[in-house]
Chain A
Amino acid sequence: MTDIHPGFFHRLIVVTVLLMAAATLEAQDYSSQGADSCLPCHFTGQPKSATEIFFTKHASRTDPKAPFSRLQCETCHGPGQDHVFAQQRSLNVPPVNVFGRNSKTPVETQNQICLNCHETAGRLAWFGSRHQVENLSCASCHQVHRPRDRILDSLEQQKVCFECHPKRRSDTLKASSHPLRLGNMSCSDCHDPHDGNNDFLLQELTVNETCYTCHAEKQGPYLWEHAPASDNCSLCHRPHGSNHPSLLKKRPPLLCQQCHSPAGHPSTAYTSELTENNFSNRFMLGRACLNCHSQVHGSNHPSGATLHR
């Protein structure tokens, strides 16, 4: 074997020291003073003020998981030394991580920062959920720096949802709708936007179980069940809004005649020329079929087989 040159070790030590310096420099990409490096520019009254975060839980100094108990601003926004140096030289270099819809930071990176702490119950099935597949970032909906995240206010939350679901805004203004327009309830009372295991991102496993949360009187089981009501409430109802009473998709008698056709009054063609007919109009006017068949969700009366009682 060739003898090692005596100068080899000298060169080795120099290279090693340089490599260690480089590695140490990587650690020094974090600012020298943490939030005190950021806040002089991002102070109250400035265009990109960040001080409202001090009204929020993210600013806690006692919760070991909170960003300000760890690397302060840089916990989420990443090492900021380059950004600080550049700003001091009037160069435009953004922080490593910028959050929001039009950010150049990849959505996956943005979300992973949030999920490092918030991938808990309620977000266990985020990966593979519709919002995740559509590449939505947490910051598309959430505002971390505001004293109160707008998504927690029932009226403000709707506005966020309507940005991508504009049809639902018009639904809340229809003649029959859930109490969304005035903020008595919010989209998240029925839907879980983070968790994707349930159909339509519903809070509960099925449509009916979600409805029973507020309409428990319908849960039964009943002696005489109305099959479509036990199957799926949305077969007859349009939960976001309708111009028909009780959020129905159609008016009776046609709503019922879609499925019922025995000879006699259930299958008669009720036309506009029968409204003055004293026999036919009882099946069309008023509540139509529900003039007599009020128990459309099921009946617990021993004589309720036809949903009259």
Chain B
Amino acid sequence: MNRQPANATSIATLAALLLSVQTLADEAPVSVDTRDWLCAFCTYAEGWFGTLGIGPGYASDSSLKFADYRGIKEKGVFFSLDGDAHYLDETGRYFDLYSSNLGLDSRQLEMRGGRQGRFEIRLAYREIPKYRGYGTQTQVQGFGSDRLVLPGNWVRAPTTSGMSALDDSLRPVALEIKRKIFEAGLSFRMSGKWRYVADFQHTEKNGTRAFGAGVFTIQASHFPAPVDFSTNRIDMGLEYSSKRARLRFGFRSLNFNNRYNSVSWENPFTPVGNTALLRAALEPDSEFYQFSFTGNFRPTARLRLSAQASLGRFTQDQTFVPYSSNPDFDGLQPPRTSLNGKLDTNSLSARLTAGLSQNLSLQVNMKYDDRDNRTPVDSYTPVITDLVQRPGTLNRPYSFTRGQYSAEFSYRANSPFSFNAGAKQKNYRRTLQSVRETRESVWWGEVSVDQWSAAQLRLRLETSSRNISPYKQVSDPGLQENILMRKFHLADRDRDRVLIDLDLFPGDRLSAGISYFFTEDKYKQSILGLMKSNENNLSLDLGFAVRANLSLHAFFNLDNYKSDISGAQSDFMTPWTARTKDRFTTWGFGLGGKLSDRLDISIDYVSSKSRGRISTDSGAGEPPFPDLTSHLRNANIRLTYQASRKWGLTLQAEHENYDSSDWQIDGLGNDGISAILTLGPVSPQYSVTVLRILANYKF
């Protein structure tokens, strides 16, 4: 009997069997028999459900600073309505609605609905009220429009002290801007791999804001200029997803429209020359369009490449207002009727992330972006403050290109230690500015220690050095900059940074965190301008779980900012020096969670204090200015009692106290500066208590 063919057959059969076993082992996790997986315990939510909270509130006082972003402007009763509603069904259809503050000027509403995995439609609306300038008053009439006039009995004078009709003419004017944002979105899956997304946002911004302008250094006035903006934003994207690649093709547009292209006002001072009527241009209508591509590729399990590219264009072609409202210059015409402004933005970035080994990875980044300002350059003869015509002046459409290149190693092993180290090069080229090119090298290293999940320490050090091409002062005609001045963003700079984070978890119930951050910039080659600045921050956080579903927290932050500036009144005078120091102390604590099955509690207290100090020394040792101060204290208590499965009651009490002082405006009123007629703002101070009762209904 010939056994050799039998031996070969046996070996082959064995190999095939072993291979099939291995294949079976590899594929076994996927082929799970789920026929008995009935999900009997699965408590699927179906139908409609949600909560509605409704009830009155009361504010103890009026304050525009308190109303800032909050929308509770007046003392007295207001109406509160919050809620959410949802729908789910077994076919995958869903609907979500979230709302808050519907009775206030800060109302928000968001709705989403669709069929999961197929499409979604989104609608949202919100309002944001903003108040600036507290206690402001004005003598002008017609505010809210683009033509501001003086009262009929107005008495002009060369200084504010001579304006005898001022006191009787002043009327309160709230510098309020209300932002209303409407959003709509759509996404749908066209196939297993393709998805289309579109978002639209329409924003209206209406109100008044402070605007200051005048005639040279002789006189100036502040007035409430109109704000009537609308912006339309469109974002569209076509997305592709597969196992190895994910791509997105996008289009974005941002259209801005200003109802008013200028504002004119009657000069309240005795006019110098023919400057009784003055006019300023407001923000012009503009458009932005951008096409973009984003991609993510995974050629192998250890290699990933992501890339992004975009082409964009800003355009602006608003018709110019005349050179001057001064009739002495009526015959003067600009070289063109509108700017025909065009600015192209292009960008390209790529990142390669490679797993070099089990524990070591490398990422390499490249980023390039380019601002190519193609706005036409012409020679204008501007009439400075409607009084003096300047000789031919070219406009300067600034362009720049930026390149960034970096590499970073990350080492992470099954040990408490992990390391990151990297370097980055940033190159910046600018046109029409004092410096053509800046180059910055950045180096960093980071070590993290994660010990037994009880402590995590992170230490990061970073240093960078920026060098510039020769500095050549670029000045406007007649306004020659001091030859020693160095604009800080165009100057040589050394920067050092330190970050330390320590998180402690001594037990299951207690957590503590300490964080320290320091950064210092030194402009060693600068003689005038910003010389040095530094910032440091210390943060402490504590968390304690009193029991399940009830926890305490506390925090403390200390922020310091300091900068040194040097100036000189001419090329030949001794420099003067100035220092600014801002210090912030913030702390707070709170308790949140369930006191019992039916009672939820939330208690929060925060205090935020700031002090700003400015000192300028001409060489005579002058003392600093009075401190700029602010102090915010807020206490908030909220109790929710669930009386039954459907009904509950929420009681909320909030008290907020705010003090501030600002030597630049305090005590001045409208006429405290002889050559400037202001709106007379004061530093805000308030103490307001808000009480709310909400009946909650769960359905």
Contact = CB atoms under 8 A, between A and B. Distances in A.
B668 A286 contact: yes
Given A225-B397, A292-B214, A309-B385, A55 B28 contact: no
Contacts of B561: 249
B357 to A, nearest CB: 14
B439 interface: no
A291 B341 contact: no
A285 B664 contact: yes
Contacts of B314: 219-221
Contacts of A251: 580, 612, 614, 628, 664
B64 to A, nearest CB: 14
Interface stretch (B53-61, B564-572, B641-649, B687-695): B564-572
Interface residues of A, number: 143
B401 to A, nearest CB: 12
Interface in B278-321: 279-281, 283-284, 286, 288, 294-296, 304, 306, 308, 310, 314, 316, 318, 320-321
B20 to A, nearest CB: 8
A212 B316 contact: no
Given A62-B90, A269-B618, A308-B384, 12 more contacts: A102-B453, A119-B246, A216-B254, A222-B284, A225-B395, A261-B485, A263-B480, A267-B569, A282-B217, A282-B220, A300-B281, A300-B339
Given A124-B296, A173-B632, A303-B384, A287 B212 contact: yes
Contacts of B349: 197
Contacts of B678: 286-287, 291
B619 to A, nearest CB: 8
- B-side interface size class: 35 or more
Contacts of A302: 320-323, 334, 380, 382
Contact of A304 (B4, B382, B632): B382
A263 B155 CA distance: 35
Given A282-B673, A285-B673, A291-B220, A262 B480 contact: yes
B246 A121 contact: yes
B258 interface: yes
A197 B367 contact: yes
Interface stretch (B39-47, B138-146, B163-171, B463-471): B39-47
Interface string A234-271: 01000000111100011100100111111101111111
A30 B369 contact: no
B441 interface: no
Contact of B283 (A62, A217, A292, A306): A217
B283 A22 contact: no
Q: Is the interface of B mostly helix, strand, loop or mixed?
A: strand
Interface in B598-619: 606, 608, 610, 612, 614-618
A32 interface: yes
Name which of A213, A221, A267 has the most chain B CB atoms within 10 A of its CB: A221
B520 interface: no
B393 interface: yes
Contacts of A109: none
Interface string A176-188: 0001011111000
Given A257-B567, A285-B668, A72 B29 contact: no
A72 B561 CA distance: 52
A91 interface: no
Contacts of A222: 284, 316, 339, 341
Interface string B525-550: 00011100000010101000000100
18 contacts: A34-B36, A39-B42, A62-B92, A102-B505, A128-B365, A170-B584, A174-B584, A206-B369, A213-B233, A216-B229, A219-B286, A221-B286, A222-B341, A223-B339, A251-B664, A261-B529, A306-B385, A306-B476
Contact of B410 (A9, A40, A124, A133): A133
B86 interface: yes
B427 interface: no
A27 B304 contact: no
Interface string A9-20: 100100010011
A287 B528 CA distance: 24
Contacts, number: 483
Interface stretch (B6-14, B73-81, B266-274): B6-14
A304 B482 CA distance: 22
B525 to A, nearest CB: 15
Contacts of A7: none
Kindly list the 5 A-B residue pairs having the minimum CB-CB distance in the complex, ordered from nearest: A34-B37, A63-B117, A27-B28, A62-B92, A301-B281
B233 A220 contact: no
B200 to A, nearest CB: 14
A128 B367 CA distance: 14
A287 B563 CA distance: 21
Given A54-B42, A173-B608, A225-B398, A303 B383 contact: yes
A292 B217 contact: yes
Contact of B676 (A214, A257, A282, A303): A282
Contacts of A225: 395-398
A294 interface: yes
Contacts of B353: 127-128
Contacts of B100: 183
B596 interface: no
Contacts of B159: 278
A304 B380 CA distance: 10
B462 interface: no
B44 A59 contact: yes
B339 A55 contact: no
B116 A60 contact: yes
Contacts of A230: 371, 398
B212 A290 contact: yes
A24 B91 CA distance: 34
Given A197-B306, A275-B663, A261 B567 contact: yes
A272 B614 CA distance: 9
Given A36-B37, A124-B246, A268 B321 contact: no
B88 A216 contact: no
Given A20-B21, A182-B69, A272 B412 contact: no
Contacts of A124: 246, 248, 294-296, 306
A231 B480 CA distance: 22
